[in-house]
A and B are shown apart, each in its own frame.
Chain A
Amino acid sequence: MPGAVRTIVVWCPDWPVTAAVLAGTAPAGAPVAVLAAGQVMASSAAARSEGVRRGLRRREAQSRCPDLVVLSHDPDTEARLFEPVVRAVEACCAGIEVLRPGLVATAARGPARYYGGETVVLDRLRAACPVPCVVAVADGVFAATLAAQCLPPLRRSADSGPVQSAHAVVPAGGSADFLAPQPIDALGRPELAVLLHRLGLSTLGAFGALSTRDVSTRFGADGALAHRLARGLDARPLAARRPPPELTVGTVFDPPVDRVDTAAFAARALATRFHELLTARGLGCLRLAIVARTEHGQELIRCWRHEGALSATAVADRVRWQLDGWLTAASGPTAGITELRLIPDQVIPHAGQQLGLWGGTGDADDRADRALVRVQGMLGPDAVCTAVPAGGRGAADQLQLVPWGEPRVADRDPDHPWPGRIPAPSPATVLTAAVAVHVSDAAGTPVTVDGRGVLTTPPARLGLADRVEEVAAVTAWAGPWPVDERWWDAATAGRRARFQVVTADGTARLLAISGGRWWVEAVYD
């Protein structure tokens, strides 16, 4: 077991609240509480001044502070937004460990010798940190964290007034003395703390004075660990994180390139280098951004996605197609390309591709995929789509277009009942913009549907709304089939009645009346 290593801790107080403010889900300076499992886990200074405490239930917290903004705990966002802080700390000190979002530890000896003193390091860290933070140094992570948390709360308010940061220094070898008067609850083990209180041990010093053998006999391994912490020893050495590897590759062209074949030649070498860099780490790239910069400073970026991981040839092909599209398009770059970069946007551990026993993904599928990706290179990634059946009632809703290469999943489940949907056979032409028409009866009066969904008179004539004199005779019709969709949401609500109408030339159309106006939605041609 190690002794206590001199450790620096950077703590961002109330990090869940700060992260919510940074993410824009909570207003700055307002009373905010973040709840996990129905209990307050963090609160802002304004909320604390109203009496909101950690561990309160939602109702009680709201009764103490009626205008409390209540948010639920979002570990992903908190971790993601903490990354800039981690990078800022890493820029000052090598070998850091993220204990949890909001708390970073690093060994103090190296930086202190490099910068010339622990307080210099602490000041640098405070200056470098992009959010208000508290920095403390002590022997061991536990003592340093506690020292940071023991600073007066007013000076570390994260959300009122200007940025305030503070630091605390526990002198070398003084951790045990610093910890001795601290309450036993600081161990963060509530059951053990209750028991020790009942045994009359209310401070860490009193607990630490017990013999190690007695503690481990009575309280087991976890109790022994708590005992080590109480005596100012470390539970384990710091597990320093390795900075993430740089996977972006790039090349500079001098003189600038304006010919497709020259650029493609360079792209092939670049793609091979990119692929070797990824495979050396056992990674595969799902999404790749290709960035080209021209002599005039134009930047051309396009993202490529692939369901399986991209191979070296696939990467080279995509770079070539994209450059081909740019350099030959009428609205292409105004100057030659001076720099080309490949940025892996989404990287996964590459477990190898399992081929089917008898061919699996066929030769024809590969050829089709290459042809379609090539067209994507010419027209843009969203220009090539596949259709996925989706849930819905109207002719247009029952289908969703998904860009080629993305997973074929619809937003609305087509297997749900969708009462009132258009029956099969479906129209072969679904208009992207509905065409306004007018429908009248034999006497020429406009036909409408009343509030109860009943037709006023049978339709007999159909014509374009702006050309009243030209009408076609209606020979057969069915409807109205009323639909009142999403009435709970004003933005997407739609109340209409649909009709199938056949005119004298034998064409069948899907009409809809909405707000007293008739539209052609689709044609059964």
Chain B
Amino acid sequence: MSVASAIEPTDVLGPALRALPAAPATARVPAPQRPTLPVLPALASLLPGGELRRGMTVAVTGSTALALALLAGPSAAGSWCAVVGVPTLGARAAAELGVRLDRLALIPSPGAQWAAAVAALFDGVDVIAVRPPGRVSGGEARRLAARARERGATLVPLGPWEGAELRLSVSDSQWNGLAAGTGRLHARRLEVSANGRGAAAKPRHAALWLPDGDGGVSAATDLPADLPRLHRAERRRSRAINTSVAG
């Protein structure tokens, strides 16, 4: 080994070492938070500016999988996520959609202290999906949203939430792959509409494959086929089954 290479180890190891982050001493200082969290590309068209802002409150109604897909982007980029108050969560579906299970905390039954638990989680968890056990008063919802803004975390209430900046709701859902007695569930086409206030005031609409044939999420680019209009009474009956299932 020549003297020169011994003095300049970076040249011996090549440019890879120079590309590494600065000395570990500086890594101790908390890095300034980026103002946004990455989301899956298919969901970008639903969010104002195409990204999930920290401190935002995004209420999701009609689909648990849609909320999990919202968690998948930040989780894959290294953020911590938590799901509070959902004992029925199918975490395997979350893993299939891209949520890292080793960075997902579950608090299935927080009971009456759910709001205190969510407030404590804001200190260290970036995205928190929560299904409150009962009706949430406007004051409580505002307090939690303010706390989320202050801590730079994103709150994803499952169900209606007063004062949410963005509301994602499912207007239609069609499963593919199943026929009369054959096949298996394969992919689902989901029509999602987004409306809100402020920057998100403009209503948006997107068609998603959630999951698509490979288990991920992708945008449904084709125009919606002439879907059979359902009889209103049938929709109502099926909804009755759903509500009693959720209860």
Contact = CB atoms under 8 A, between A and B. Distances in A.
A437 B92 CA distance: 25
A432 B88 contact: yes
B21 to A, nearest CB: 7
Interface residues of A, number: 68
A430 B237 contact: no
Contacts of A399: 90-92
Contacts of A385: 105-108
Interface in A430-446: 430-432, 435, 437
Interface in B54-112: 62-65, 68, 78-80, 82, 87-96, 101-111
Interface in A451-469: 455, 458, 462-464, 467
B227 to A, nearest CB: 9
Interface residues of B, number: 75
B179 A375 contact: no
A428 B106 contact: no
Interface string B4-23: 00000000000000001100
Interface stretch (A61-69, A170-178, A502-510): A502-510
Nearest to B99: A387
Interface string B145-176: 00000000000000000000000000011110
- With most chain B CB atoms within 10 A of its CB, the pick from A423, A428, A504, A506 is A428
B125 interface: yes
A363 B31 contact: yes
A367 B120 contact: no
Contacts of A455: 181
Contacts of B31: 363
Contact of A505 (B103, B107, B182, B238): B238
Interface in B189-224: 211, 215
A504 to B, nearest CB: 5
A102 B17 CA distance: 61
A476 B113 contact: no
Nearest to B86: A429
Interface in A345-376: 357-359, 363-365, 367-372, 374-375
B240 interface: yes
A28 interface: no
B135 interface: no
A426 B180 CA distance: 20
Contact of B78 (A364, A464, A520): A364
A471 interface: yes
Contact of B215 (A384, A386, A424): A424
A92 interface: no
B174 to A, nearest CB: 5
Interface in A503-525: 503-508, 520, 522-525
A408 interface: yes
A206 interface: no
Contacts of B88: 429-432
A51 B240 CA distance: 74
Contacts of B215: 424-425
B117 interface: yes
Contacts of A505: 173, 230, 234-235, 238-239
A76 interface: no
B174 A506 contact: yes
B40 to A, nearest CB: 15
Contact of A437 (B78, B111, B184, B241): B241
B178 A502 contact: yes
Contacts of B82: 372
A23 B106 CA distance: 38
B64 A525 contact: yes
B244 interface: yes
- With most chain B CB atoms within 10 A of its CB, the pick from A389, A427, A431, A524 is A524
A379 interface: yes
A472 interface: yes
Contact of B125 (A371, A395, A428): A371
A372 B183 contact: no
Contacts of A388: 101
A421 to B, nearest CB: 11
Interface string A58-98: 00000000000000000000000000000000000000000
B49 interface: no
B240 to A, nearest CB: 6
Contact of A426 (B21, B93, B107, B111): B93
A423 B183 CA distance: 11
A470 interface: yes
Interface of B: 20-21, 24, 27-28, 30-31, 62-65, 68, 78-80, 82, 87-96, 101-111, 113, 116-117, 120-125, 172-175, 178-188, 211, 215, 230-231, 234-235, 237-242, 244-245
Rank and list the top 4 A-B pairs by shortest CB-CB distance, nearest first: A371-B124, A387-B91, A367-B124, A505-B238
10 contacts: A358-B21, A364-B78, A372-B121, A383-B107, A387-B101, A424-B96, A431-B88, A470-B237, A504-B230, A508-B188
Interface of A: 357-359, 363-365, 367-372, 374-375, 378-379, 383-389, 395, 398-399, 401, 404, 408, 423-432, 435, 437, 455, 458, 462-464, 467, 470-473, 476-479, 500, 502-508, 520, 522-525
